[in-house]
């Protein structure tokens, strides 16, 4: 389910200056991550005006508005102010006209301002809003940053997912979420995972209880969010089942409509699962960079067979 974001939350998250806006204006909901740059609207053309979007004014819009008569400028800005308009945002620290302030105050709409360039500000606004407003689902597992790779550890209850994550943290890696991972699509191919607010920085270890990872290991041991790039599924080892010994079986799993590579690791007494997960992450990274140990082994085996056949 998508979350809601208010204008004051946006201002706080991106460090935007509040030029004007009372409590009612700052509590308006932003319902879309799309940003509008009102060009035609300043000329009086409102047939396709996106009234429910943030209205971003850069140098072009401000300069054009400055050339208008005061009465005309006030009339146009008033038409841009609707009950659904979240806020007006000014880039480059540009001066806000008295007419814009008057119109926005009349309609209880906040005006925010940033010192950065328009294109950069538009990118930051879109990235933040798309992340916050994206529909979310949650999956059971532990998300860990292993060598900069987002590894989601899943498996049966009680198999040792949290204990494995704790050992990875002790080895210098970072915890993102334990037990419940909230995921959302950043784009068609990118899945982002983050902790539920109530479980942020916390991990449950059977026999000990809830521990605060950031408090025990420091701020460098946790991270707020991470792209989910690899799923490691821990399953109980059984003698009857045959396991992939060469790593040639490429498996995937669908999470949030995104296909993610998956590795299944059998767990039994004596196996150091944390180190295996660590190596699995490094091996996956090597594959994405073009080196595949399995293919190298198969190539060596083929050459050996050919050499022996020629004898």
The residues near 40 (Cβ < 8 Å, ≥ 6 apart) are 48
User: Averaged over 278-304, what is the pLDDT?
Assistant: 79
Query: Of residues 265 and 305, which shows the higher confidence score?
Result: 265
User: Averaged over 241-246, what is the pLDDT?
Assistant: 64
What token pair was written down for 9? 């939350």
What are the pLDDT digits (tens) for 71-127? 999 999 999 999 999 999 999 999 999 999 999 999 999 999 999 999 999 999 998
Assess whether pLDDT exceeds 70 at residue 2: no
Binding site for ATP: what residues are annotated? Answer: 155-162
Domains and CATH numbers, the chain: 5-133 (3.40.1390.20), 137-297 (3.40.50.300)
User: Averaged over 232-259, what is the pLDDT?
Assistant: 78
Binding site: what residues are annotated? Answer: 155-162, 204
Instruction: Give Cα 109 to chain centroid, integer Å.
Output: 28
pLDDT at 1: 47
CA distance between the termini of the chain? 66
Measuring CA to CA, which residue among 207, 229, 205, 204 is closest to residue 143? 229
Query: Of residues 249 and 127, which shows the higher confidence score?
Result: 127
pLDDT class of 3 with cuts at 50, 70, 90: low
Residues designated as active site: 140, 161, 179, 245
What are the pLDDT digits (tens) for 253-286? 999 889 999 998 888 866 789 999 999 999 888 8
Half-sphere exposure of 84 (CA within 13 A, CB side): 7
* Mean pLDDT for all residues in the chain: 89
What token pair was written down for 171? 């080895």
The Cα–Cα gap between 304 and 301 comes to: 5
Q: Considering only the C-alpha atoms of the chain, give the largest distance between any 2 of them, rounded to a whole number of Å.
A: 96
Q: Cβ–Cβ contacts within 10 Å for residue 40, how many?
A: 11
What are the pLDDT digits (tens) for 162-220? 999 999 999 999 999 999 999 998 888 889 999 988 999 999 988 899 999 999 999 99
Binding site for Mg(2+): what residues are annotated? Answer: 162, 204
pLDDT at 239: 74
The vertex-142 CA angle with 139 and 148, nearest 5°, equals: 115
Strands in 35-36's sheet, in edge-to-edge order, are: 17-20, 110-113, 87-90, 54-57, 35-36
pLDDT at 21: 93
Contact at 8 Å (CB) between 202 and 142?
Answer: no
């Amino acid at each position: 389910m998508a979350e809601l974001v208010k204008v004051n939350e946006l201002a706080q998250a991106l460090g935007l200056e509040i030029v004007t806006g009372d409590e009612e204006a700052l509590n308006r909901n932003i319902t879309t991550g799309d940003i509008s740059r009102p060009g035609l609207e300043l000329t009086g053309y409102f047939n396709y005006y996106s009234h429910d979007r943030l209205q971003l004014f850069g140098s072009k819009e401000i300069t054009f508005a400055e050339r208008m008569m005061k009465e005309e400028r006030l009339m146009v800005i008033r038409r841009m102010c609707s009950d659904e308009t979240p806020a007006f945002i000014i880039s480059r620290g540009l001066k806000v006209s008295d007419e814009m302030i008057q119109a926005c105050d009349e309609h209880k709409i906040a005006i925010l301002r940033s010192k950065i360039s328009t294109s950069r500000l538009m990118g930051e606004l879109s990235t933040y809003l798309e992340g916050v407003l994206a529909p979310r689902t949650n999956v059971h597992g532990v998300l860990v940053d292993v060598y900069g790779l987002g590894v989601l550890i899943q498996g049966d209850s009680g198999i040792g997912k949290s204990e494995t994550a704790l050992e990875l943290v002790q080895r210098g890696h970072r915890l993102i979420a334990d037990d419940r991972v909230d995921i959302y699509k950043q784009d068609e191919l990118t899945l982002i995972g983050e902790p539920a607010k109530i479980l942020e920085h916390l991990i449950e270890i059977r026999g000990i209880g809830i521990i605060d990872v950031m408090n025990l290991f420091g701020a460098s041991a946790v991270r707020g969010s991470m792209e989910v790039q690899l799923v490691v599924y821990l399953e109980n080892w059984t003698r009857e089942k045959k396991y992939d010994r060469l790593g040639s079986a490429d498996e995937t799993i669908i999470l949030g409509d995104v296909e993610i590579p998956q590795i299944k690791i059998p767990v039994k007494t004596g196996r150091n699962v944390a180190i295996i997960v660590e190596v699995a992450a490094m091996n996956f990274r090597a594959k994405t960079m073009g080196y595949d140990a399995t293919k190298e082994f198969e190539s060596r085996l083929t050459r050996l067979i050919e050499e022996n056949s020629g004898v």
